[in-house]
Amino acid sequence: MSTAGSAASRKQKTEAMAEVCSVRVGNTLFGVPISHILEIVGAARPQRVPLAPGYVGGLVHYRGDVLTTVSLRQLLQLPPKEGTQDILVLESEGGCFGLLVDSVGEVLTVSAADYESNPSILDERRRTLLAGAYKLKSGLLVMLDPDRVDPLRLGASQAA
């Protein structure tokens, strides 16, 4: 996926469609490719883990296993949210992990033609987490790179 908008990519428009699950955190609409999502767990209250790294949102019980969750709010340095949150269960190399978001919205079909990569003014922290945006009629859908929010990877980058 390179910069969109050229005549060539417009031609491929029908083929280059992607399905993205939209989630809301704070005022932003984020997107996660549905191919990475195993399941969506609604209205969860993760159990806090004292002394855990800041980005760990806690533990939830998921299909007989205990799932570590990553708080997107924490990653984006937003204040914690009161009440329950929704969880996207994502697949990663080291197993599964949960991504804590404020709420999960609908699955959107987006076209590669509307894609634009990260703007240069984005701060370093966000630039590593985000993978560009789709320009929708209602606003921007900011894409998350599921691999970059993997707790294993976050742990490694923090240690480094």
Partner 1 sequence: MDDLTREFLIESQEGLDRMERCLTELEERPHDASLLADIFRSVHTIKGTTGFLGFKRLEKLAHAGENLLGLLRDEKLAVNAAVITVLLHLLDGLRSILKTIEAEGGEGTGEDAELIARLEELQARERAPDAGGANQAASAVGKAADGGRVLEPGSPRAPAAQGGAAPAAATAVETAEAAPPAAEAAAQENPAPAVADGQKGRTQAAGSATESTLRVDVALLNRIMNLVGELVLTRNQVLQATAADPNMTMLSRRLDMVTADLRESVMKARMQPVSNVFSKMPRMVRDLSQSLGRRVSLKMEGQETELDKSLLEAIKDPLTHAVRNALDHGIEPAAEREAAGKDPEGTLVLRAVQEGSHVVIEISDDGAGIAVDKVRAKAIERGLITPERAAQLAERELLQLIFLPGFSTAAQVTNVSGRGVGMDVVRTNVEKIGGKVELDSRVGKGTTVRLRIPLTLAIIPALIVRSLEQSFALPQAALSELVHVPPEQAATAIEWIENAPLYRLRGRLLPLVFLDRLLMPGRECELAADRDNYIAVLDADGRSFGLVVDSLADPEEIVVKPLSAVLKDIGLYSGATVLGNADLALILDPGSIAMKAGVAMASDEESARAVEEEAETEAAKAEFLLVEAAGRNAAVPLGDVLRIEQLPLSRIEYIGYRPVLNFEGQLLPVEDSGGILAAAEGNPDAQIVVVVCREGGRHVGIAVSHVLDVAAGSSLFEAGTNQRTSGVTLLKERVTGVVDLGGVAPLPATEGAPEELGAVTEGVA
Q: Which residues bind partner 1 (CB under 8 A)?
A: 47-53, 56, 59-61, 63-66, 68, 94-95, 97, 151-152, 154-155
Q: Which is nearer to partner 1, 136 or 152 (CB)?
A: 152
CB of 125 to partner 1, least distance (A): 19
CB of 155 to partner 1, least distance (A): 5
Q: Which is nearer to partner 1, 62 or 134 (CB)?
A: 62
Question: Is 60 within 8 Å of 69 (Cβ atoms)?
Answer: yes
CB of 96 to partner 1, least distance (A): 9
Q: Which is nearer to partner 1, 20 or 72 (CB)?
A: 72
Q: Which is nearer to partner 1, 7 or 66 (CB)?
A: 66
CB of 47 to partner 1, least distance (A): 4
Q: Which is nearer to partner 1, 39 or 65 (CB)?
A: 65
Closest to 75 measured CA to CA, from 120, 26, 32: 26
CB of 42 to partner 1, least distance (A): 16
Distance CA 136, CA 83 (A): 30
Q: Which residues contact 8 (CB under 8 A, 6 or more apart)?
A: none
